[in-house]
Structures are given as structure tokens and as C-alpha cells.
């Protein structure tokens, strides 16, 4: 059966901010609400410089492993878990989301699915952000098992002293984030 | 090559680079050294890509459940007026050629992508974005912000009323001008289908000169970013009509079959 050819991607460009924002778009759940976690980090380029014009998106299951099906991503009501968030990096390359830690789906290691767009990046990049506390599930995960230790470290968040999740992205070079295709 | 250095390349140099990179890509595909891709990430003629493209191939993975579905959007989340970029200001009508842009969002099987978010942003008729970092000395239009969004209907249709954006200069190289375009962000039926792209207009003389448009090495693929003028859609005494269908696809068919080569 012949498939329709896909529409190619193009860079999000430098001027995406005002066209891709809405209030509380990076707050999948209300900050500091029960069960909430801060997921934050910095995006770096191949020279190790922070990237100030990145659009990041996360999409994940709820903490009990439920796949979100409720609308309300733009019209956030403050209590429905929609699973989706979007963040623009600040001038210092920093991003942050308030969300929940996903639970295992189909007994697999849970992760945030992440999409990366930026000026200078000609098409979307997909990656995953796994949780630091699931070492047992990581060992048996078919994707993580194929990675070297160094590569695996680029897709697993770290836990800060405050209990937040810290996850930096490196678009190029030393410690380059592992990106995925499907 | 730096975008900020004192020695910017000429258009002729950039055009020659574009030709050389595309030729090398075709040779590599023919020799089996390169997967076919729609858009090259490592594309030196687009100077800003130099430090922002991964150097390693993406790892092939089996998508998991969460990646095979998309966030949900309700029609109540987006007001109808957000699809009309010409009518959001009590002050008056924006400058420029009024037009309607409409089409369908489909998946690779031709099925409509229903009830998903389509976002759009663009320059005004003079080629100026409202963004504070746009330094192009063309006038801002107090009646045009240049951003809109819509939720697709049961048939996957979207429809915007806007004005035709102007071409604009940028500092990629000397005398660099982007062809007129509208930025689009699209959600598919699966998160793997997430797409951000740009829609262009027929017969733009700047196509051959633009390193962003030319980052797609295959002419047939590039053509899929160009809207079609549709006189049936054009409204008498009111607006020109452009039609542009968008196809999101994946996980399969995004790449050719060399799936066993990823360690
Ligand atoms: Fe643009």
C-alpha cells in the first residue's frame, strides 16, 4: 500500500516564542502541588555554550503509569494531568518543567518523551529522559541496554539535593545527548 | 565559518556550497553510506547549524506506548478568533494582501489527524516579526501580531485568515533573504509524528538561494512545502486562497530499511 510522503521539517527559527506560547505551558502540574517534581536543566551547543533559543516539549505517563487522554494542555485547569508541557530556554539556556514522575507503562522503565526544536536545528530531535531511581528497570530496558555507560548517562536525569530532576542536553560534541529515531 | 565574523560569505559562495552538499548527499545515498532523510541537520550553508547538529546518528528504537499517542486538545481550548490573524485588533486591518490558508493534516495512510493543534507564526507584510529580537528596519504593523492557532476538525482540516508575509533579510551571509514563509507547528496522532516546518508560496525567486529551504536535498520533498494557489478558495472582493495539506508520518517510513545497522 502506498503511503503519502511526509511533509519535511524545517527549523523553528529565531522568532518562535510569541507564536508558540501560552500561560503555564511548562506547568504540567501546579508547582509544589503534591506529587509534583521540578525537571530542569541547560541546553548546550557543540562549543559548550548554553543555547538561548530552544523549544523543548515533554510528554509522559502519569505517576501510576496511566497514559493521559484528557485535554487541557492550553486551557490548564490546575488539576487535570495532561502529560504534556512546553518550555522555551531562557537567555542562559536554562529550561524548567513542573510535572510528575511517570510510572512504568507495560512494566518498562518510565521516561519523559522529549522533542527538541531550536534556531540552527533544521528538524526536530527526539530523545528520552529516564528517571534516576529505576536502576532495576534500566538493566532490562532494550534501548538502554544497547547504550554505552557514557551514552546512557545522557538520557537519565540526576536527582538534586532538593529532590528535583536535573537533565542537561548537549546537541553536539563531548557528552552528546543520545537522540532517537523510530 | 561564523555568522558574526566580519567576513560573511557571498550569495554565490553559499549557493555553491548548497549545490556541493546536496551532491555529496545524493552520492552518499547512492553508495549506501547515508540514509535518506527529508531534512539535513548538518548543513553548513545554514551557518547557525554548525554547533547545533548532532554528530552521531540517532539510535533506532521501538516506540513505546507513550510515543505512539499524542497529547489531547479540546476545541474549547482555542477560540475561533485565534484562526483569524486579521481581526484581532479593534484598531484596524493589518497592511498587506489578505489571504486564506487552509488544508488537511493527514497521516501517511491518508487518515485525517483529528482534533490536534496547529500553530502558525509569521512576519508582517513588510517582512518584520513582532519578536523583540527582529532588527529588520521594516515597519511594525500595529494591527498585526502574526500568530494564530486552531484545532483540526473531524476531517483534519485547518483554516487561517491572515496576510501574505514579506520576504526578509537575515545575516546568514551577505545579502541573504528568506523566501516568504509561514512557520507551522503540527501535532500528529503519535508524538513520533511531531512536526515543525515552514510553508512557502509558489514560484518564489529566492528558493534557490535559501539555505533553510535547500536543507531538504530532494526537490520533490522541497515541493511539499509549497502551498498551491486555489482560485476556488479565493473570495471575491476579499482574500486570495492558498491550499496546503500536511502529512505527518512515523514511526515507519521515515527512513529506508537499513534498520539493522544500529549497534
Ligand atoms: Fe521566519
Task: Summarize pLDDT for A159-182 with one digit per residue, the tens.
Answer: 999 999 999 999 999 999 999 999
Q: Which of A1, A2, A3, A11 to mutate to test the interface with B (most CBs of B within 10 A)?
A: A11
Helices (H) and strands (E) in chain B, counts: 2, 12
B28-41 residue pLDDT tens: 999 998 888 999 99
For A169, the grid coordinates are 542536553
> Rounded to whole angstroms, how far apart are CA atoms A54 and A89?
5
**Please, what is the average pLDDT of chain A?**
96
Transcribe A146-163 into DSSP letters. TS-HHHHHTTB-EE-TTS
Give the pLDDT band of residue B259 (cuts 50, 70, 90).
very low
Ligand 1 centroid – CA B66 distance (Å) = 31
pLDDT of residue B252: 60
Q: How many CA atoms lie within 13 A of B133 on its CB side?
A: 11
In the prediction, which pLDDT does B239 show?
96
DSSP A65-99: SPPP----SSS--SS----EEEEE--TTSEEEEEE
Tens of pLDDT, residue by residue over A17-27, are 999 999 999 99
ipTM score above 0.95 = yes
Residue numbers of B annotated as active site: 129, 168, 178, 181, 183
Which residues in A lie closer than 8 A to residue B65 (C-beta atoms)? Answer: 61, 67, 105-106
Burial track B11-33 (b if 16+ CB lie within 10 A, e otherwise): eeebbebbeebbeebeeebeeee
**Which runs of consecutive H residues, i.e. helices, occur in B78-231?**
219-223
Grid cell locating B71: 497529547
Q: CA A151, CA A176: separation in Å to the nearest integer?
A: 8
* Residue of chain A minimizing CA distance to B184: A12
d(Cα B3, Cα B97) in Å, to the nearest integer? 33
CB atoms within 10 A of CB B204: 17
Q: Is the CATH code 2.60.130.10 the one for domain B5-247?
A: yes
Do B52 and A19 lie within an 8 Å CB cutoff?
A: no
Is the model's pLDDT at B194 over the cut of 60? yes
pLDDT 10s digits, B201-249: 999 999 999 999 999 999 999 999 999 999 999 999 999 999 999 999 9
Tell me, what DSSP letter sits at residue A52? Answer: S
HSE (CB half, 13 Å, CA atoms) of A154?
21
A23 touches chain B (CB under 8 A): no
Grid cell digits, residue A98: 513542573
A38 touches chain B (CB under 8 A): no
Least confident of A7-11, B87-91, B92-96: B87-91
Q: Read off the pLDDT band of B91 (50, 70, 90).
A: confident
Over residues B163-184, mean pLDDT: 97
Average pLDDT for B7-26:
97
Kindly report the average pLDDT of chain B as a whole number.
Answer: 92
CA of B198 to the centre of ligand 1 (A): 8
Q: What is the pLDDT of residue B89?
A: 61
Closest residue to B71, CB basis, from A83, A122, A147: A83
Please give the Cα distance from B137 to B119 (Å, whole number).
26
Per-residue pLDDT, B133: 83
Nearest to B168 by CA among B210, B206, B136: B136
Q: Residue B86 corresponds to which cell in the numbers above?
A: 486579521
Taking CB atoms and an 8 Å limit, are A182 and B254 in contact across chains?
Answer: yes
Mean per-residue pLDDT for A126-145?
Answer: 94
Amino acid at each position: 500500500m502506498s503511503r503519502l510522503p511526509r511533509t519535511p521539517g524545517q527549523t523553528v527559527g529565531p522568532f518562535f516564542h510569541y507564536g508558540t506560547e501560552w500561560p503555564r505551558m511548562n506547568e504540567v502540574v501546579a508547582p509544589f502541588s503534591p506529587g509534583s517534581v521540578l525537571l530542569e536543566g541547560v541546553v548546550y551547543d557543540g562549543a559548550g555554550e548554553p543555547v538561548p533559543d530552544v523549544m523543548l516539549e515533554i510528554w509522559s505517563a502519569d505517576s501510576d503509569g496511566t497514559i493521559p487522554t484528557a485535554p487541557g494542555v492550553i486551557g490548564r485547569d490546575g488539576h487535570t494531568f495532561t502529560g504534556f508541557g512546553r518550555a522555551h530556554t531562557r537567555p542562559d539556556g536554562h529550561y524548567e518543567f513542573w510535572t510528575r514522575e511517570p510510572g512504568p507503562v507495560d512494566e518498562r522503565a518510565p521516561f519523559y518523551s522529549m522533542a527538541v526544536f531550536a534556531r540552527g536545528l533544521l528538524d526536530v530531535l527526539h530523545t528520552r529522559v529516564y528517571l534516576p531511581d529505576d536502576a532495576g528497570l534500566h538493566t532490562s530496558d532494550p534501548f538502554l541496554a544497547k547504550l554505552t555507560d557514557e551514552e546512557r548517562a545522557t538520557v537519565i536525569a540526576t536527582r538534586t539535593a532538593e529532590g528535583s530532576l536535573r537533565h542537561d542536553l548537549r546537541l553536539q560534541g563531548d557528552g552528546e545527548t543520545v537522540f532517537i529515531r523510530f | 565559518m561564523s555568522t558574526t565574523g566580519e567576513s560573511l560569505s557571498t550569495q554565490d559562495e553559499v549557493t555553491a556550497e548548497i549545490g556541493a552538499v546536496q551532491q555529496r548527499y545524493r552520492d552518499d545515498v547512492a553508495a549506501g553510506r547515508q540514509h535518506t532523510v527529508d531534512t539535513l541537520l548538518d548543513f553548513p550553508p545554514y551557518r547557525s547549524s554548525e554547533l547545533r547538529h548532532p554528530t552521531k546518528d540517532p539510535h533506532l528504537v521501538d516506540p513505546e506506548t507513550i510515543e505512539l499517542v499524542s497529547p489531547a486538545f479540546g476545541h474549547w481550548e482555542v477560540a475561533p478568533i485565534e484562526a483569524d490573524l486579521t481581526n484581532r485588533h479593534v484598531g484596524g486591518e493589518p497592511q498587506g494582501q489578505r489571504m486564506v490558508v487552509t488544508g488537511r493534516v493527514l497521516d501517511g495512510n491518508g487518515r485525517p489527524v483529528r482534533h490536534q493543534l496547529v500553530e502558525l507564526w509569521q512576519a508582517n507584510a513588510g517582512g518584520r516579526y513582532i519578536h523583540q529580537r527582529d532588527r529588520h528596519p521594516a515597519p511594525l504593523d500595529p494591527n498585526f501580531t502574526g500568530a494564530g492557532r486552531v484545532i483540526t476538525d473531524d476531517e483534519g482540516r485547518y483554516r487561517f485568515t491572515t496576510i501574505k508575509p514579506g520576504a526578509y533579510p537575515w545575516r546568514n551571509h551577505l545579502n541573504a533573504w528568506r523566501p516568504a514563509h509561514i512557520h507551522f507547528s503540527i501535532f500528529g496522532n503519535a508524538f513520533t509524528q511531531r512536526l515543525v516546518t515552514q510553508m512557502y508560496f509558489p514560484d518564489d525567486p529566492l528558493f534557490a538561494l535559501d539555505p533553510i529551504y535547500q536543507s531538504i536535498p530532494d526537490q520533490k520533498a522541497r515541493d511539499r512545502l509549497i502551498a498551491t494557489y486555489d482560485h476556488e478558495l479565493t473570495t471575491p472582493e476579499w482574500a486570495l486562497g492558498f491550499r496546503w495539506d500536511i502529512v505527518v508520518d512515523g514511526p515507519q517510513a521515515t527512513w529506508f530499511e537499513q534498520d539493522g545497522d544500529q549497534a
